[in-house]
A and B are shown apart, each in its own frame.
Chain A
Amino acid sequence: QKEVEQNSGPLSVPEGAIASLNCTYSDRGSQSFFWYRQYSGKSPELIMSIYSNGDKEDGRFTAQLNKASQYVSLLIRDSQPSDSATYLCARFFRGYNKLIFGAGTRLAVHP
């Protein structure tokens, strides 16, 4: 059983819409969660981290964490074609000092 699950997509949204990316995890002890953006052929870039239940906003990005339901989401408002990328969700594996990554969701924003 994968520890971090993401829908592989592609998730296709029109320019200007809200893109909603979701991630579920299996370890109730997870405390820290991260969203990375990865453009094709490039390395992952950290865009958001979230540690507490609720929402965390940074510009057009909002991360949402619900520990009771074991999911974390990333909302991208006013989506732009430049947001087209693969988005990786990760959780911190306490005790082993490493991140567990999901396989990623490919987002396509079309004009």
Chain B
Amino acid sequence: DVKVTQSSRYLVKRTGEKVFLECVQDMDHENMFWYRQDPGLGLRLIYFSYDVKMKEKGDIPEGYSVSREKKERFSLILESASTNQTSMYLCASSTTGTSLNEQYFGPGTRLTVT
């Protein structure tokens, strides 16, 4: 089974803090994704990566950056957290092999910025 893990289930941070969200997958997937999910807005793609040290902007990259130094790990960084970044953050991974882009999600991190 695909296993995607995220470093925290719940996180509370203060405005202006630098926040790191970590995601690890154990299936040797090439592609990794960061989404946020908000009521009424659905899933929105922040950043994704299809290889180590590669990154692509998604639909809402402003205020975020990412890092992928190893194939299994994809980090989301909030440089200076703001209250409008309070959300559920979801990491996902996929392979471009036989699974034809099926994405598997981690359990999510519910981030509250106060």
Contacts and interface: CB of A to CB of B under 8 A. Distances in A.
Interface of A: 32, 34, 36, 42-46, 49, 51, 88, 90, 92, 96-99, 101-104
A43 B43 contact: no
Interface stretch (B11-19, B69-77, B79-87, B102-110): B102-110
Interface of B: 31, 33, 40, 42-43, 45, 48, 50, 56, 58, 90, 96, 100-108
Contact of B45 (A42, A51, A98): A98
Contacts of A46: 102-104
Contacts, number: 46
A98 B102 contact: no
A99 B96 contact: no
A103 B105 contact: no
Q: Which of B48, B101, B108 is the most central at the interface, judged by chain A CB atoms within 10 Å of its CB?
A: B101
Contact of B42 (A32, A34, A96, A103): A103
A88 B33 CA distance: 17
A98 B45 CA distance: 9
Q: Which of A34, A44, A96, A98 is the most central at the interface, judged by chain B CB atoms within 10 Å of its CB?
A: A98
B20 to A, nearest CB: 19
Given A43-B90, A44-B43, A49-B102, 16 more contacts: A32-B100, A32-B101, A34-B103, A36-B105, A42-B108, A43-B107, A46-B102, A46-B104, A97-B31, A97-B48, A97-B56, A97-B101, A98-B33, A98-B45, A98-B58, A99-B101
Nearest to B91: A43
Contacts of A97: 31, 48, 50, 56, 96, 101
9 contacts: A32-B100, A43-B90, A46-B104, A49-B100, A51-B100, A97-B56, A98-B33, A101-B42, A101-B43
